[in-house]
Copies of this chain bind each other. A is one copy, B any other.
């Protein structure tokens, strides 16, 4: 029995369970020369997938209706007719949401479960860690002693960005949505300060207090009113790394914010969007640092692991309510 999750309808606003369709097939899969048979072990759910559910031009084409959704997956090779892979290997790659599937090995990387837990290859040693490292270093260009503020700080990427910031000698402030998350940022991830945007009466003033020397780098995962509040606190030559805008992904109307242009011109500041694949040439350097810091205990991570293939859509939807701490992963 093979199960697949299709995009049934394009979400309007917040995605709902009914936007997804489960299909079961009673079939045994046959592989031919060059192919491998994969059994899915872990599926990554990520905010950026929301964008691909719209029928809009973007850096990657939209998901097609009634076709499988895909995301980062860790799978086990259960049969191989490809010399690069053998039975029992684990691989990571962008794959459809299926319990089993045939692949030709293209775009798949072998991962080593003896060096780190398999789920880490979807997180800190995968797209999450690479996104945090490349965005912070290539756009943020941190200089020891500067002040970094991170929104969505308790999320998968945000918590890694903050820790790398500390390793690089920055003062690090995190913004998140519950006191429990704020505590975790400080006690587990070593952030210098945290701001709870749900209980704060004046985020702009709290940022000013937490960053008395102003903000040099803003790693932005959320957009919206939180980002507006940060803008009032940026320094001259500030760098704003736009990694995501989760606060507006579900907007039905084009969201409005304060005009950023006067802030950027007044401060000679930079704002740059990116996706991790822009910096593919930096991946070897990033992996060397990330795995080294992880081994030295300088870097830690949090996962929210949900059980069961049938819970993938719900785990995805929960991202938009901040139910995850760190990387959200579904274990099959």
Contacts and interface: CB of A to CB of B under 8 A. Distances in A.
A211 to B, nearest CB: 15
Contacts of A58: 266
B259 A268 contact: no
A77 B143 CA distance: 46
A331 B70 CA distance: 66
B223 A266 contact: no
Interface in A248-272: 248-249, 254-272
Contact of A267 (B220, B248, B261, B273): B273
Contact of A59 (B255, B268, B274): B268
Contacts of A227: 261
Contact of A236 (B59, B223, B264): B59
A269 B241 CA distance: 11
Contact of A260 (B51, B59, B265, B271): B271
A244 interface: yes
Contacts of A266: 51, 58-59, 273
Nearest to A255: B259
Contacts of A236: 59
A58 B234 CA distance: 11
Contacts of A330: none
A269 B273 CA distance: 5
A254 B270 CA distance: 20
Contacts of A184: none
A306 interface: no
A255 B262 CA distance: 9
A142 interface: no
A193 interface: no
A268 B257 contact: no
Contacts of A37: none
A258 B270 CA distance: 18
A268 B275 CA distance: 7
A62 to B, nearest CB: 12
A6 interface: no
